[in-house]
Structure 1
Amino acid sequence: LIILLGLHVAGAVKHEFAAEDGVLKKMLPGLFGKPATPPTARGYVRAFGTAIIAFALIAIIPIAGSGQSSSATPQTDEAVAPADETIEANWDVVYDTSEIRFTGMYDGAEFTGTFDDWSADVEFHPEALDESRVLVTVQTATADAGKKLYNDSLKGPEWFDTTTYPDAQISLSNFSETDTGYSADAAISLKSELITVPLDFTLEIDGDTAMLAGKAVMSRKAFNLGQDSDPSGSWVGDEITISVTGTATRK
């Protein structure tokens, strides 16, 4: 969310120093003091399509068909953390043609970014979905929203807190076929939270090459992201969509 708030800082600086209207104080009270009156609520802004970070892990799954993004309410898990799983990978991700992207809404406008450093272990069996699983690890400090101010903000304690939590993990399991492709449970371990959300995706397999596209939706509130600056989602929408596109080759 800090990244999103950063999107608004440029315009706020002009008003903060050219006129004493306290725009920055309204947007970032922790840094510039509190405004005389609370900021006007902008309503609940929703992002299209939740890994952030965690969902980035999805980009590694080879699956066929056409999938839809699901916005089911995330559930807190007491399950075994993703790092404890053993994956017998049978697909190699082609990182040069694969991407994990996060998208949300800030003050009515869309914002987006990608993670530059992530890895995935993929064990996927089209004929044995119950034996399929994927483990993705994302280096959260590599989030790139296009501007240094936003990127630096995302690394801070209120957001990804990359000093304390340098990576996020996502474990995909319970794969099933749907009318449009596939679905899986994505257990996302981000900061101190472990939450499961649905991931819908499509996959096309041509010989030993698989091409996939998927989406998942996560709540920043559920992962305690940006809750000091904007807990109500007045400026930054609560829902963040993680979109993954990628290519993998059979081992």
Structure 2
Amino acid sequence: MIRRAISLALTLALATPLAVSAADYSVQAGSTLGFTSNFQGSSFDGHFNKWTAAISYDPAKLASSKFDVTVNLATVKTGDNDRDSALPGPDFFNVAKYPQAHFVTTAFHQQGNQVIADGTLTLRGVTRPVSLSVVFKPQGSGATLDVTGTVKRLDFGVGGGQYADTSVIGADVKITAHLVLAAK
């Protein structure tokens, strides 16, 4: 009886597929999270000094891959004092009420030669779907991960009211990230 139970347990264990999971990575120094927009027809770049990212990724195991990114919006910098003072304020990010932005993936899919990370972005209390292009390059025991995508700022209430004029402040904001990753 015991031998039969052990045999059955062993058979079931061998017949059950192993759990497939992506590799976990930690974000290293040299990683950046930024954006590009335009003001009065001139393009400008910005970045965030403080953010965290939990990255679990394997291009061969997209179903088990996941990104979870939290951004401290008060750390925005564009190199322009007026803009850097205005962005955390109530007309734009409103960090007093919404100190963080949060992106989490819901799925990954292949689109031609490109990998797309579908997810949700929560910004100013508004959650909307966002899709990002992903370029993953293994390097030794780590990798680099470059991510790009575009969001419509007014979809999240960023720069609404008197700042809603898209001929003054562009409607589209390009998101860019370059992550240097080390395997956990």
Residues 67-114 of structure 1: per-residue CA shift (max 9 Å, x gap): xxxxxxxxxxxxxxxxxxxxx9711111x2110111011111101110
| AA of the residue aligned to 2:129 | T
- Structure 2 counterpart of 1:126: 59
Listed as ranges, the matches of 1:106-121 within 5 Å are 106-121=39-54
Rate the CA distance shift 1:116–1:243 in 2: closer, same or farther, 3 A: same
Separation of aligned partners in 1, 2:83 and 2:107: 35
Q: Which residue of structure 2 lines up, in the alignment, with residue 169 of structure 1?
A: 102
Q: How far, CA to CA, are the matches of 1:241 and 1:186 in structure 2?
A: 16
The equivalent of 1:42 in structure 2 is: none
> Which amino acid letter does the alignment assign opposite residue 92 of structure 1?
S
The TM-score with structure 2 as length reference comes to 0.83
Given candidates 98, 105, 108, the residue that maps to 2:31 is 98
Normalised TM-score (structure 1): 0.62
| Equivalent of 2:71 in 120, 138, 153 | 138
- Alignment root-mean-square deviation, CA: 1.5
Unaligned runs of 5+ in 1: 1-87
- Residue in 2 that maps onto 1:36: none
Structure with the higher strand share, 1 or 2: 2
Residue aligning to 2:11: none
Match of 1:21 in 2: none
For structure 2, the 5+ residue unaligned runs are: 1-21
Q: CA deviation at 1:142?
A: 0.2
Q: Which gives a bigger RCO, structure 1 or 2 (Cα 8 Å, sep 6+)?
A: 1
What SS is found at the alignment partner of 1:162? coil
Correspondence for 1:222: 155
Q: Which residue of structure 2 aligns with residue 246 of structure 1?
A: 179
Aligned length: 163
Question: Any residues of structure 2 matched to 1:48-87 within 5 Å, and which?
Answer: none
Structure 1 residues 173 and 229, CA, compared in 2 at 3 Å: closer, same or farther? same
Match of 2:87, SS state, is helix
Shift of the 191–224 alpha-carbon distance from structure 1 to 2, 3 Å rule, reads: same
4+ runs deviating over 4 angstroms = none
Letter of the 2:84 partner, please give it. Answer: N
Give the residue type in structure 1 aligned to 2:149: A
| Residue 188 in structure 1 maps to residue 110 in structure 2 | no
Partner of 1:37: none
SS of 2:82 mapped into structure 1? helix
Higher radius of gyration, 1 or 2: 2
CA deviation after TM superposition for structure 1 residue 179, in Å: 3.1
- 1:186 offset after TM fit, Å? 2.7
Per-residue CA deviation, residues 153-176 of structure 1 (Å, 9 max, x unaligned), is 011111000011111100023112
Q: For 1:162-210, what per-residue CA distance to the aligned partner results, in whole angstroms no more than 9, with x for missing partners?
A: 0111111000231123333311113101011001111012111123111
How far apart, CA to CA, are the structure 2 residues paired with 1:151 and 1:89? 37
